[in-house]
Structure 1
């Protein structure tokens, strides 16, 4: 469990940091649009930095989404099963799909990024940026996803052994009913 907690903490910190990249991307997008339409000026570099920031958010925050159990799944079907069966389905998904696919992407992503770094690859767009930081996000993001997948597997195995409560990996998001109740409560206070 110490390894699992360390991985969770790492991905939580990365996600908190990457949240600022989303804010930066939105601001750059807004400023770029204002400048483009009001002054009829723009640069491919501004567009590319937005893409890089969105790529960073997606690739580096996805492990945190997995940790919070907020990824896409078919709860309508699995919700009918016992918690133990749901955990077994999760483990099957991690070991048969998530970890192998992330491993393949990591295997091919490392050389993909290294070639770009070694060649100091530049964008083919006029005024574009260097490309390797964006390509480096692929192996880094999938390495973090593998780590988080292992962390989630550890937690579920410990649950099956009776050493961990399901709340350690249960969905952290509020249900729609809880969100509605919170909105109603906030409106009563105002």
Structure 2
């Protein structure tokens, strides 16, 4: 059961990361198209410009959990790498419980009204010719902390196993 839950949590973060890689490619192609249209043909489309901005925001918000899973996030690593595997696991669990979970919950709770109001208004871009459905982009402000909470649970499970394995290795040697 433990392994099944752990692999399901891992899959969710991986799925979001793979989706982000596709969004990044689409964003790059749209930026290239926009540059050619505006610089060569003097044609500007507000919707095209906004779509690259929206995709950029989506890449960061949807990619946060995958970045955490891949251990590619910013880490102040002054002492951490010198610690034993057991101590690293404790530090990671404490960091998840004391920082990641509270911050993610704060973002989730504090942004709920902001996003729900956007949905009620059917909010669209303020620019003439801009993209409709701004509320979909704003919804990512709620999706991001949910993905981070899911990955946080996965991280805790990994670190519990890391701690138990290190404890077992200490007792054997």
TM-score under structure 2 length normalisation: 0.88
- Give the Cα–Cα distance (whole angstroms) in 2 for the partners of residues 54 and 164 of structure 1: 43
| Structure 1 residue 164 displacement after superposition | 10
1:3 aligns with 2:5: yes
1:148 aligned partner: 151
Alignment of 1:34-183 (within 5 A): 34-130=36-132, 131-162=134-165
Q: Which residue of 2 aligns with 1:21?
A: 23
How far did 1:163 drift? 9.0
CA–CA distance in structure 1, aligned partners of residues 29 and 103 of structure 2: 34
Q: Secondary structure of the equivalent of 1:161?
A: helix
Q: Distance in 2 between matches of 1:156 and 1:98?
A: 15
Cα distance in structure 2, aligned partners of 1:40 and 1:135 = 31
Alignment gaps of 5+ in structure 1:
166-190
Structure 2: unaligned runs, 5 residues or longer: 169-173
Whole-Å Cα distance in 2 between the matches of residues 5 and 154 of structure 1?
A: 10
Q: How big is the alpha-carbon RMSD for the aligned residues of Structure 1 and Structure 2?
A: 1.8
d(CA) in 2 for partners of 1:58, 1:156: 25
Secondary structure of the residue that 1:75 maps to in structure 2? coil
Runs of 4+ displaced beyond 4 Å:
none
Number of equivalenced pairs: 165
CA distance in 2, matches of 1:150, 1:117: 29
- C-alpha change, 1:17 and 1:164, in structure 2 (3 Å) is farther
Cα displacement string for residues 133-179 of structure 1 (whole angstroms, at most 9, x for unaligned residues): 110111011101111011101111232233999xxxxxxxxxxxxxx
Q: Report how far residue 59 of structure 1 moved.
A: 1.0
Query: What is the alpha-carbon distance in structure 1 between the residues aligned to residue 105 and residue 166 of structure 2?
Result: 29
Length-normalised TM-score, structure 1: 0.81
CA contact (8 A) 1:155 1:164 kept: no
Deviation of residue 39 (structure 1)? 1.3
| Kept after mapping to 2: 8 A contact 1:158/1:164 | no
Note if contact 1:45-1:128 (Cα within 8 Å) is conserved in structure 2: yes
**Alpha-carbon contact 1:105-1:142 (below 8 Å) kept:** yes
